[in-house]
Chain A
């Protein structure tokens, strides 16, 4: 459903809603996967991101997102210099992720302490984004919701335990998706929530014995 405020917005640093605002949002989501500003980041640019990214400040916007800046933050312009000061070592490469990938796609490999994550995401236009892959698991995360991302052993009743924790905290689930690479292999669970799950919720999920790791991702777009 189209909202008036999607049309009269977003407020953003120019020049391109897809190449700048969307890129920043993808950076923010990758940041969430390691729970803060990464120490290292490899950004592999595909398609139009690779071809016209520099002119659109896509590089600055991606790094700005990794630093936790939102699309309307004027520090995007100097994000590369700020990253140097914050100890974020970034590097860019141009690549072809796959022939079917959306033209504005990036693969981001981030590390912070012992946490490492690989995310593939695309900027779909008008600032909308879609994360399509995390650590090799297919996902679809729009960033329009707060999300909990969980990697867990494939144990019966696991979803019930997690949703129970969410309901205890009065958090409404918007979407829930479980994927796995093979039967009995690890399960990758993405839960998009209407309400903002705090770090206490994430920590409670982490305490479940079969959970390998769990992260919460901020809402990066919408209203």
Chain B
């Protein structure tokens, strides 16, 4: 796969093609599989994503520890907020839903990781539902998201243990922003700016889950990560450009990750996990799991 988004964008521009097309063509060449076969795998991933969104919205999901669950359903039933009845509200629900399913050992697509699995399905299926976008285009968007994720994996990291939450929900927001921008008719260049605009706002975000479990704050970070992606899409489609090239934003995310103290990389040694309440909850809930 590409190691640079600038290179993918210039290839796409030279061919008058989308990022989806250049990504699928290169994947086909790299892996020796037909484009149709790769699209089939992506379509199956899309189905699993939808299943997770639906399962999570029922509110029946509870994590092992009981730390998270039921919040997606609360938002489904709420009209109190300023975003009520908008696609934005619906996308926040979807992000919480998928991540609650994940915490409850339900089936999800780790895209790019299990901890950041809510953002991409929320943003893509939420926009598609609001705009009546067909599945074919969603599969295209997953390919573009995969391309962006592959570049992030290559240049930086997709692991909270290596790079903090900026490498998980931050990367997920960057993938969703670029992919959705293209899905909504944006150019490859605009998709690149969308990724940069999303990722610039999660730089430095630490990975600090209570007890080291993919639960709290992960569930909420997927909702706020989706919100960041939406802001980036809105700006990029308006023609707003981010002055620092997207590859450099990705590089600096990797660099910040490498310089990040180990306490902030999924070890529960710092951040929210190390607050008095964070420590107390983790201790109580882990004790509960052992007794169950």
Task: Give A contacts to B, CB under 8 Å.
Answer: 1-21, 48, 51-52, 54-57, 60, 72, 74, 76-77, 103, 125-127, 223
Contacts and interface: CB of A to CB of B under 8 A. Distances in A.
Contacts of B202: none
Interface in B1-57: 1, 23-24, 27, 30-31, 33, 38, 41-42, 44-45, 48
Given A4-B38, A8-B109, A55-B213, A14 B146 contact: no
Interface residues of B, number: 58
Interface stretch (B98-106, B222-230, B238-246): B98-106
Interface of B: 1, 23-24, 27, 30-31, 33, 38, 41-42, 44-45, 48, 63-65, 101-115, 117, 120, 142-143, 145-147, 149-150, 153-154, 158-159, 161-162, 175, 211-215, 267-268, 285-286, 289-290
A12 B1 CA distance: 23
B142 A126 contact: no
A7 B215 contact: no
A49 to B, nearest CB: 11
A17 B117 CA distance: 10
Contact of B64 (A48, A57, A74): A57
Contact of A2 (B63, B104, B150): B150
B207 to A, nearest CB: 12
Q: Which residue among A8, A9, A11, A48 has the maximum number of chain B CB atoms within 10 Å of its CB? A: A8
The 3 tightest CB contacts between A and B, nearest first, are A14-B102, A4-B146, A7-B149
Contact of A4 (B1, B48, B109, B161): B1
B135 to A, nearest CB: 15
B31 A3 contact: yes
Contacts of A48: 212, 267
A12 B145 CA distance: 19
Contacts of B45: 8-9, 11
Nearest to B3: A2
Contact of A55 (B44, B48, B64, B143): B64
Nearest to B266: A48
A12 B108 contact: yes
Q: Which residue among B114, B154, B214 has the maximum number of chain A CB atoms within 10 Å of its CB? A: B114
Nearest to A14: B102
A3 B212 contact: no
Given A3-B31, A14-B105, A55-B65, 17 more contacts: A3-B27, A4-B38, A5-B38, A7-B146, A8-B120, A8-B146, A9-B109, A9-B111, A14-B104, A14-B108, A16-B214, A17-B113, A20-B114, A54-B289, A55-B212, A103-B161, A126-B159
A1 B113 contact: no
Nearest to B42: A8
Given A12-B107, A57-B64, A223-B31, A5 B41 contact: yes
Q: Which residue among A13, A17, A60, A223 has the maximum number of chain B CB atoms within 10 Å of its CB? A: A17
A4 B102 CA distance: 21
B110 A4 contact: no
B87 to A, nearest CB: 22
29 contacts: A1-B1, A3-B30, A4-B23, A4-B42, A4-B146, A4-B150, A6-B153, A7-B145, A8-B111, A8-B145, A9-B110, A14-B105, A14-B117, A15-B103, A15-B105, A15-B115, A15-B213, A15-B215, A48-B267, A52-B212, A54-B64, A54-B289, A55-B64, A56-B214, A57-B64, A60-B105, A72-B48, A126-B113, A223-B31
A3 to B, nearest CB: 6
A103 B161 CA distance: 10
Q: Which residue among A7, A57, A103 has the maximum number of chain B CB atoms within 10 Å of its CB? A: A7
